[in-house]
A and B are shown apart, each in its own frame.
Chain A
């Protein structure tokens, strides 16, 4: 672990990026401290939601366009556990992990199992269809009426001098770090994690060393769904939920991963950070606040153009 961090610092690009981020932090902290705090919180939520997709897409190459809808389901799960049984949504994270692991396995058997190795378009269409089915199912069962839990603890805040900010949202930071470290350990240290990397890098090679690759696809899909399903309750503590609430997050996660470079989990964290901070910075100016959504897509278009330019130069 430490070795790989030291190695990273030997790369010039990494050092430059690291220094740039540090400088931005310090400048923002002095200039607009609440932008820094809110930006970090917002970034962490983006990263948190994108990480399970990065696992599935980056490690075994499955594009799941129903990603955000599983989060939506997790949020509804927590909502009804709270309304019916009085369970705190943050406690509901634990049963959600188990329920969504199983639900992920079942979904995989019914859907994605049949498009492994098929052209990517099949995966995209399938994911899109699954997304519609999940959204409409919730629509039928729970109607499309927006719902929101009222919990006292989510509005906790802190004051330093005359500058006040929400502290509850730091849960996103903690959760994102937990998920990132957990996934890294899973990939590096467990046999199943190594098998997942092997399948992603060379499915045929994986078969001939005795890896059951169908099992690996199933497990990684189920893990991804379990995590995003368990993020649902956390998301639901602070946000209004409705059947289509996940769609925007599917798109943002997908774009984040594309910018970070498919296969890089830590990259997702860095890109989220840049994005969250820029968005909050724009939002903080009264004049330009309504431009904040554009930031996201401007950044993505910028990076993609830069990349294709680099490819041409090479």
Chain B
């Protein structure tokens, strides 16, 4: 479905991603690694916000590398950014609508998508008229996930969805992620590896801009290096 091949990305003269390849099929895939490893950079490159020096990004047989961000999103990728990137003065309802309104395929299913989002985050239904900027960090995270789901994506990318959330909410987010797996491919980065491993099928370990390891969730959970460096066992 989504294939990233031999990606090389620089910020100025500094190389951030080195010949990096990953793929995401009909499954949930985790992307783990320490702060500064290049996870967000990889995601921004997939989204066309950062242009690679070389490499390929292909979604369902179509190359994305030369496309503008809005076109890439229209092709079926949705993002829950690390910083949420909501529209603070718009209501929750208006924010959710922006996730839907600019994707022709999703627009026809507005109500269906909205019901789906309410099913996952019932609390949003009671907050429809609240300005997104006035909500707590955790609620804003839900709006950001809801907004991404409104676009009926083929691939949903979440960049540190638990960042800044209380532990109880983190569990909830991963619980929701597990539900999502059935309807959409998921690529998720996470610092909280222990929680994330419960919600994904496969994972990549990214260190210094290179893939250090790739395996199933179960194997990763049992791996010594992972246990020491990421699970603190």
Contacts and interface: CB of A to CB of B under 8 A. Distances in A.
A191 B107 CA distance: 11
A205 B70 contact: no
26 contacts: A191-B101, A194-B98, A194-B101, A195-B98, A195-B102, A197-B90, A198-B87, A198-B98, A201-B87, A201-B88, A202-B88, A204-B49, A207-B49, A208-B47, A208-B49, A208-B73, A208-B79, A209-B102, A210-B74, A210-B102, A210-B103, A211-B70, A211-B98, A212-B68, A212-B70, A213-B70
A212 B101 CA distance: 12
B65 to A, nearest CB: 16
Given A194-B94, A194-B101, A195-B102, A210 B87 contact: no
- Contact-residue size bin, chain B (C-beta under 8 Å from the other chain): 20 to 34
A228 to B, nearest CB: 25
Nearest to B94: A194
Majority SS of interface residues in chain B? Answer: loop
A205 B86 contact: yes
Most interface-central of B94, B102, B147 (chain A CB within 10 A): B102
A201 B70 CA distance: 17
Interface of A: 191, 194-195, 197-198, 201-202, 204-213
A201 B90 contact: yes
Interface of B: 47, 49, 68-70, 73-74, 79, 81, 85-90, 94, 97-99, 101-103, 147, 151
Contacts of B87: 197-198, 201-202, 205-206
Most interface-central of A202, A204, A206, A213 (chain B CB within 10 A): A202
Given A194-B94, A195-B102, A210-B103, A205 B68 contact: no
Contacts of B101: 191, 194-195
A18 to B, nearest CB: 22
Given A211-B70, A211-B102, A213-B70, A205 B97 contact: no
A207 B101 CA distance: 13
B125 to A, nearest CB: 18
B90 A207 contact: no
A208 B87 CA distance: 12
Contacts of A201: 87-90
B99 A198 contact: no
Contacts of A206: 87, 98
B150 to A, nearest CB: 9
A207 B98 contact: no
Contacts of B89: 197, 201
A211 B100 CA distance: 11
Contacts of B69: 207-208
A83 B134 CA distance: 56
Contacts of B90: 197-198, 201
Contacts of B73: 207-210
A198 B99 CA distance: 11
Contacts of A195: 98, 101-102
Given A207-B49, A207-B70, A191 B88 contact: no
